[in-house]
Structure 1
Amino acid sequence: MDVKQIIDEAKLLIFDLDGTLYEDTDHFDYYCRLLQKRVPDEKKQAFWDTYENMKNGNHPVTIGKVYDIQNDASVTVDPMTLQVTKVMSFNGQEWPEEKVKDEFSGELVYDFDRLIAIGDGWWLPYATAMHFGLKQADTWECYNATKEYMVTDQFQLSKTPGLKQALERLREEKKLVLLTNSEKEDVKRLLKELNLDGLFHRLCTEGEKPLKTRDKMQAILDEFEIQPHEAVSIGDNFINEIAPALLMGLKAIYIQPNRIEVDHENLHVVPTLANAL
């Protein structure tokens, strides 16, 4: 069964926002530059170099990992079992197996205080900031400033070709839901900028993914009286919206331009949303 058939047969499509309905990444760099200004001058270059290494996959902390703020470490988690398989210090030293077992026994529980799922580009500047001693208040202020910048004339979102027309067509026969961690007003502004406002039957904002992904998805299924196998989760963040959906019995379309090693009968990988719709 190909991706388009999966979409055609579904009754409910649950979309992520950032990295899914738009795939720009320049705003992550903007966010990081704002944070960089808050570290001492002698650390600014190291701050940026660390972020660049993370972004390019040349650092223990990178997309797909979990950043442990308390231990300043990169945690590798099997997203389907939530078991920790490996831990490396920020400078690249691997933890002994016994230490991993002592620190992380059982399923890993994500939160937004200590164990941060690095599922997309928003979290790389955050992890860099935590390592260099900034406070969460710093990251929040810079994040909000970035969101404000994203709705100015200086920032232009790239619209996915044919997306609006595809959603208009799909909306006539399926339920379309947006499930995002972004705040409601930010979501409304971004959808207006993308010319996608009014196309979703439900906007589920401040979703607290991945901590509450399954709860939110279950509430959506219940609201529209849809069975898990009749729904598809579509997103670019495997930890946030793909693995939880597969564990619940939903089908999933993972937007990922690079090769991945995960294989699942209900998982379909596409390089861009345009390839799915």
Structure 2
Amino acid sequence: MEKLYIFDLDGTLYEGTDHFDYYAERLATSVAEEKRLEYWNDYKKMKNGNHTVQIGKGYDVANDATLTIDAMTLEVVDAHDWDGNKLPAIISLYKNKEIQFDFEKIIAIGDGWWLPFVCAKHYGVKNCYPHYLETKDYMSSEKFNLDKISGLKEGLLKLKQKNKVVLITNSDKDDVERLMENLDLTNIFDEIISSAKKPSLTTEHFKKLQHNNKISYKNMISIGDNFMNEIAPALLLGIKAVYIAEHKAPITHRDLTHIHKIGPWIKQLT
């Protein structure tokens, strides 16, 4: 085995955002009717990058505070209320502390799933999980069209000829199996780690893979669209990282490659 490639799933091995909007629609049914217009206006601003809540930040549910986080140290460097006003008290609360994401009280806004979730929380929705399940049911129906990435399967199969390919995802086992079937990627990966609880357990997963495969960190590559989940933990261990995002990466690093799409990258790699 020459190298170990570690792939994320959502936002990495398939594209499209229709399911995020569907989730937002389902959540809207639990928002008080008189607040729904505000909910939709804020959600649209988030999607366009015109709101204090943005991908790459954190969210303190109890304090309704958006947290700007140093992706490499996981320390809070700034905090704002819903309208963008600075919150010195919240900044002091987290000073010199590594933030612990639990996905209930402290949210890592790592991808498009979390924008409608945070918006719904702000507007008083107590339990978002039933609507998440509704969205997952929608994604398994004929109504949902998954955007397959041209050349991805062929690229992964070529990588496997000399390397090992692993999938680490926060999705649960049933979701992963269904998505693998829909993407025609069943039996491609040498190992699949589901319900991974990234970013909290990302480093632990990487260390275990390194130990079990008896490979050096410099020969491992983490590929994903979530900087906090897949990229920063890799760079801190000396693992190379490939960040998939339309927007600029938050840092520059000798072991970091920034790409807009995975398709062209994997084609040139193989």
TM-score bin (small chain): over 0.9
1:98-131 CA distances to partner (integer Å, 9 max, x unpaired)?
6512343322222222111101000111101111
**Match in the other structure for 1:206:** 195
**Match in the other structure for 1:52:** 44
Q: Amino acid of the residue matched to residue 42 of structure 2?
A: T
**Match in the other structure for 1:5:** none
Matched residues in 2 for 1:163 and 1:46: separation?
40
Q: Is the 8 A contact 1:68 1:115 kept in 2?
A: yes
Q: Amino acid of the residue matched to residue 107 of structure 2?
A: I
User: How does the TM-score come out when normalised to structure 2?
Assistant: 0.95
Matched residues in 2 for 1:90 and 1:37: separation?
21
Q: Amino acid of the residue matched to residue 136 of structure 2?
A: K
Matched residues in 1 for 2:169 and 2:90: separation?
35
Q: Does 1:215 align with 2:207?
A: no
1:112-152 CA distances to partner (integer Å, 9 max, x unpaired)?
221111010001111011111111x3x11111111111111
Match for residue 226 of structure 1 among 209, 215, 229: 215
Q: Amino acid of the residue matched to residue 31 of structure 2?
A: V
**Match in the other structure for 2:3:** 11
Match for residue 173 of structure 1 among 162, 174, 184: 162
Range moving further from structure 2, 103-112 or 56-65: 103-112
Q: Does 1:158 align with 2:147?
A: yes
Change (3 A) 1:126 1:246: same
1:8-66 CA distances to partner (integer Å, 9 max, x unpaired)?
x9610000000000011110000010000111211111111111111111111110110
**Match in the other structure for 1:3:** none
Q: Amino acid of the residue matched to residue 231 of structure 2?
A: I
1:188-222 CA distances to partner (integer Å, 9 max, x unpaired)?
10011011111000010000001111111211222
Matched residues in 2 for 1:92 and 1:140: separation?
27
Q: Amino acid of the residue matched to residue 40 of structure 1?
A: A
* SS of equivalent to 2:155: helix
Q: Mapping of 1:234-273 within 5 angstroms? A: 234-273=223-262
Q: Is the 8 A contact 1:10 1:232 kept in 2?
A: no
Match for residue 124 of structure 2 among 133, 150, 153: 133
* SS of equivalent to 1:125: helix
Q: CA RMSD in A?
A: 1.4
Q: Does 1:195 align with 2:187?
A: no
Range moving further from structure 2, 220-229 or 119-128: 220-229
Matched residues in 2 for 1:220 and 1:261: separation?
26
- Structure 1 runs (4+) deviating above 6 angstroms are none
Matched residues in 2 for 1:32 and 1:104: separation?
33
* SS of equivalent to 2:118: helix
Q: Amino acid of the residue matched to residue 119 of structure 1?
A: G
Q: CA deviation at 1:259?
A: 2.4
Q: Amino acid of the residue matched to residue 99 of structure 2?
A: L
Matched residues in 1 for 2:222 and 2:54: separation?
23
| Structure 1 residues without counterparts, runs of 5 or longer | 1-8
Match for residue 90 of structure 1 among 82, 94, 97: 82
* SS of equivalent to 1:276: helix
| Structure 2 residues without counterparts, runs of 5 or longer | none
Change (3 A) 1:102 1:183: closer
Matched residues in 2 for 1:14 and 1:87: separation?
32
**Match in the other structure for 2:60:** 68
Q: Amino acid of the residue matched to residue 156 of structure 2?
A: L
Q: Does 1:79 align with 2:71?
A: yes
Q: How many pairs were matched up?
A: 266
**Match in the other structure for 1:117:** 108
Q: Amino acid of the residue matched to residue 263 of structure 1?
A: T
